[in-house]
Structure 1
Amino acid sequence: MTLILFTSLLCLVLILIYIYFKRRYTLINNNLPGDKPQIFFGNLLNSGFLTRKKSFHEILHDYQRRYGDKFTFWFGLQPYIVFCLPEHIQTILSDRHTFEQSSSFIPNFDLVCPNGIVVLAGAKWKRHVRVMLPVFKRAKMIQHLDTITECADHFIDQCLLDNHIHTDLVHRCQTFTMNVIGLIAFDYNLESNINSPIKIAFQDFVSYVTIVILMSWLPQWISKIYLKFNWKYQKIHRLIRELTEKIVEQEQNNSQRSKNLIASLVSSLNEQANDEQISSGLTRIEMLDEILTSMLAGYETTSTALAWFIFYMSKYPHVQQRIKQELHEHNLLMTNHVQYLPRLTSEKLDSLIYCECVTKEVLRLAPTATATTRIALRDTIVDNVPIHRGQTVIIGLNNVNTDARYWHDGHPNKFIPERFLGKDKDHHPFAMLPFGGGHRACIGQDLAWLELKLVIVRLMQRGITFEDTIENGGGYQEQLTCFPKNIAVRVHIDKI
């Protein structure tokens, strides 16, 4: 009797849940096109996202092709309005009083870094940005040029074997950026020991962050339970926290002012900092979260762009030759006449115009930032589409990067750095936003830009040539960002 009653109640609950979701999906209508959502999954299953058949940026391109420049995409139980034109982006990102960054930008990230600047809003975000923004300004980053150069040399010497086909360059690029972050943030060499516990812990931590972000279509309490009772994650998180706290204490006791990230943040330490009254600085817990957020952001984006640069160079060998020609013209290339590598300064980097164009083209084509999200703080209208307070919109950043209506110099899907010397030099200001835009643009973009351009120059300066192979198929592997899925290039080191 009890079993029958329990079964009947369970069936009733399931029927009510089905009716609830059915009504939810049926009644919400913004008169925009899009695929019909599936119960519970929304468009994540029928679009190919959950089955990993397509990356998210491929899905947004496919939807734009089928439905136009504005459409609806259901991310699990939530409908999002997607906008794909630079004019849309300009309207949304420029109105900071109507649109604020949504927690969906990096979903579930608040579970691992609840005080990270990317998940904050309002007064707390303003307090954090006053501390974080000066830390990542170009003037500060220039101080680390020699450090980044040394890391690039280590990457070349240890990872790039002459006349050898490399299939693990995505991992190698991640290791390179991790080493840069370790030295800039902590003065800590993560490459000193390939089996370093902190290095392994950080790599595993990134994997868990990726998992919880991909679980964002599920109710958040499921992700909370997953992390809370995952002993390996808890151990990794504790190890990283303990190391960071130890380095902070050492910095506080250091009489000589360092140039690293932690030194800059330690000076802002204020345990009385709050948002209820005028105050500044960060508490210790907030500072630790900001350090971890900065490490994660820098680790993923630059390594992704570097991996795509290597892939594109193997497909477009003439670009490599033109970079080396420019370096030769500036006496920065090792030749029979120049037997040493001149120190790379900010002035020398700024003088390399074609290298600048290559860096821009990598960031334009590489899907490092597929999209960003904003939440409406009040009712508004964008291009005749009514948006209600509390509704989240998706901005297709990668869509505008290759829109033929805004890129005129050569096919927009082709790797053509020269476009930035010709018709596309003065492209629409919102047709290319690799680091987002508006008041919530990436605060670390100066470091990412400098790091990417410098390593590109150093690779070519050292005579590295990347050659295509049959196995070098590209494709997309979605993690926190989108890496090339199948990369297999032959490395050749030019002889003097």
Structure 2
Amino acid sequence: MSSGFICYQIYWASSMDTAALLTLTLFLLIVYRVYCILSPKPTKQMMQCQGILGPYPKLLLGNLLDMKKITQNASKNHNFPVTHNLEPRFFPYFVQWKKAYGKSFVYWLGSEAVLYVQQPELLQEIASSGSLNWGRPAFLKNDRYPLFGNGLIMAEDQDWLHQRRIVGQALTAEKVKGLFATVMEASLPVVNKWSRRVMEGGQSGVEIEVDGDLENITTHVISKLLFGSSYEKGFVILAKLRALQQALFKSIRLVGVPGSRFISRVGNRKAWKLGKEVNVLIMEIINARLESNTTGLGDDLLGLLLKEVRHGKGLTMQDVVDECKTLLLAGQETTKLSLTWTLMLLALNPHWQQRVREEVKEITRGADPDVDMLSKMKIMTMVLNESMRLYPPVAYTVRQAKQDLHVGNLKIPKGMSVFINIVGMHEDPDTWARDDVYEFKPERFSNGESSKRNSGFMPFGFGGRVCIGEKMARMEQRAILSMIISKFTFSISPNYTHSPSFLLSIMPSNGMQLLFALVD
């Protein structure tokens, strides 16, 4: 064998060793870089230095497995009694971690750090630190994209300001007053139907499952606001949104885990398919509107949104579709559920039911209410507030720091999310300074104080991103409840099973069955 051939072999082997070494080095550097990005250790150490502890996270998965295990143990070891204490039912891991680490701690959804907050004074600091300094976490937006897209709930920065301004034009105090006629238009057929059923059923009380009819009323109202004369199509769209909500929240979701956006999409094709079907239905309404209106686009909310698109003011047609989805679901569900739980609580507390009835009778003098009467119903407002304290329309909200922020004595790094547990806030004995937080006591709102004053009461959110539809929702609540309570007495049906469930909102798992009789 020639010496030249041997030298070539040595050179070739050396080159291969060098290439392999370089490849290995590059691979290790990439792995190290990814580890540095995904490792919870730096953030955990930074928060520990500020006295904020929390459960130890696993790489990539964070505390997701812990949350699953604690939830399984809680459901296995406890038969939940008929109680208004919802936190152990929905968030048993928070109950456990608060005992170990206090009311502020850090936990991890996958590789995403989340600061749990339950002190009203800290929430005040967050609320006053500027709405545009906080956004929605990307992992949350990705998880719920089929349901909300880039609608108002998920929009950021100037998009959020722009959308909020447009929606606000349809929800001014004067416009909300104008919607009262629509609420009455939707409520009267339901009240008349219930009256006929009760009269046909005799004096012993007739069982009615109220949540379905309440859904029809509130869907009618929000659909009229959105689509005007095309409101009936809102019922079809909302039915698909309901199916989408069920598919999305009952699927396996690795929220916060790197790559989970693609895993969830593959694993939950049904939700994404339903999302596309909803988009098509809304686009049919939009196209019909565009074809039939060469100059005007209507004076409903859809018309306002389409005018922004036509005049090139920053909205796309997909933005309009997302806004319709968001407002239809959020605007209908929160009002329906708050009324459902209020009827249940009044059925369980006939003394308060009678007090509200007497107030309505005194103010309306036995007639149907008008919009100006609603603001005079103080006892009803106390009852509704207490109902939303025990069963808030939304169980929690999440914000994400868009830059390094100082909130009170805490430094919150850019990218850290803050979880505000509304259920926990509403049930916190320290916040409410009472030992009866799980009981229905409307008198705690008798002078408008309680912990409204210190941000402990937040059924519609808090800060700059508080629900823009709050005035409309409160008007609907009072109008519908005054119609029902002036005509009927009601109690809990023996067929009702108290089993609140949590998807996006808190709802009765098996419907709300009540026994109705006519008022003497």
* TM-score bracket for this pair, using the shorter chain length: 0.7 to 0.9
Matched-pair contact (CA < 8 Å) for 2:346–2:353:
yes
Q: 1:229 to 1:459 in 2, by over 3 A?
A: closer
1:240 aligned to which of 259, 262, 281? 281
Shift of 1:238: 4.4
1:203 aligned to which of 238, 242, 255? 242
Matched-pair contact (CA < 8 Å) for 1:466–1:491:
yes
Report the equivalent of 1:288: 321
Report the equivalent of 2:358: 325
Shift of 1:495: 4.0
Which consecutive unaligned segments of at least 5 residues does structure 1 have? 1-11, 275-281, 334-340
Q: Does 1:433 align with 2:458?
A: yes
Worse overlay, 389-398 or 419-428: 419-428
Q: 1:78 to 1:181 in 2, by over 3 A?
A: same
Q: How many Å separate the matches in 1 of 2:130 and 2:105? A: 23
Worse overlay, 140-149 or 68-77: 68-77
Matched-pair contact (CA < 8 Å) for 1:151–1:180:
yes
Worse overlay, 105-114 or 479-488: 105-114
Q: For 2:207, what is the secondary structure of its paired residue?
A: strand
Report the equivalent of 1:279: none
Equivalence map 1:383-422=2 (5 Å): 383-408=408-433, 411-422=436-447
Matched-pair contact (CA < 8 Å) for 1:101–1:375:
yes
Q: Does 1:216 align with 2:255?
A: yes
Equivalence map 1:112-131=2 (5 Å): 112-131=147-166
The one-character-per-residue Cα deviations of 1:72-126 (angstroms, maximum 9, x if unpaired) are 2222332211110110100011111773122356652334543312222222222
Q: For 1:118, what is the secondary structure of its paired residue?
A: coil
Matched-pair contact (CA < 8 Å) for 1:466–1:492:
yes
Report the equivalent of 2:135: 101
Report the equivalent of 2:18: none
Report the equivalent of 2:20: none
Residue identity in the other structure for 1:64: K
Report the equivalent of 1:300: 333
Which consecutive unaligned segments of at least 5 residues does structure 2 have? 1-26, 76-87, 199-204
Q: For 1:433, what is the secondary structure of its paired residue?
A: coil
Shift of 1:190: 6.5
Matched-pair contact (CA < 8 Å) for 1:21–1:39:
no
Report the equivalent of 1:71: 105
Higher helix share: 2
Shift of 1:407: 2.2
* Alignment length (residue pairs): 462
Q: How many Å separate the matches in 2 of 1:259 and 1:426? A: 39
Report the equivalent of 1:24: 39
Q: How many Å separate the matches in 2 of 1:232 and 1:212? A: 14
1:449 aligned to which of 450, 457, 474? 474
Shift of 1:295: 0.7
Matched-pair contact (CA < 8 Å) for 2:131–2:465:
no
Q: For 2:403, what is the secondary structure of its paired residue?
A: coil
Shift of 1:324: 0.6
Q: TM-score, normalised to structure 2's length? A: 0.77
Shift of 1:417: 1.4
Q: How many Å separate the matches in 1 of 2:223 and 2:35? A: 49
Worse overlay, 324-333 or 198-207: 198-207
The one-character-per-residue Cα deviations of 1:381-418 (angstroms, maximum 9, x if unpaired) are 44544321121111222322232233247722221112
Q: Does 1:462 align with 2:497?
A: no
| Sequence identity (%) | 21
Report the equivalent of 1:278: none
Q: For 1:480, what is the secondary structure of its paired residue?
A: coil
Report the equivalent of 2:304: 264
Q: TM-score, normalised to structure 1's length? A: 0.80
Report the equivalent of 1:183: 224
Shift of 1:45: 4.0
Q: How many Å separate the matches in 2 of 1:289 and 1:428? A: 35
Matched-pair contact (CA < 8 Å) for 1:113–1:292:
yes
Q: For 2:429, what is the secondary structure of its paired residue?
A: coil
Residue identity in the other structure for 2:191: I
Q: How many Å separate the matches in 1 of 2:215 and 2:464? A: 28
Shift of 1:55: 5.0
Shift of 1:489: 3.6
Report the equivalent of 2:207: 165
Shift of 1:473: 4.2
Matched-pair contact (CA < 8 Å) for 1:55–1:482:
no
Q: For 1:415, what is the secondary structure of its paired residue?
A: coil
Q: Which structure is larger by alpha-carbon Rg, 1 or 2?
A: 2
Matched-pair contact (CA < 8 Å) for 2:223–2:232:
no
Shift of 1:477: 0.5
Q: How many Å separate the matches in 2 of 1:179 and 1:207? A: 22
Q: How many Å separate the matches in 1 of 2:287 and 2:437? A: 49
Matched-pair contact (CA < 8 Å) for 1:206–1:296:
no
Report the equivalent of 1:7: none
Matched-pair contact (CA < 8 Å) for 1:113–1:289:
yes
Shift of 1:135: 1.8
The one-character-per-residue Cα deviations of 1:436-463 (angstroms, maximum 9, x if unpaired) are 1222111122222221222221211222
Q: How many Å separate the matches in 1 of 2:230 and 2:59? A: 49
Residue identity in the other structure for 2:163: H
Report the equivalent of 1:359: 384
Worse overlay, 422-431 or 391-400: 422-431
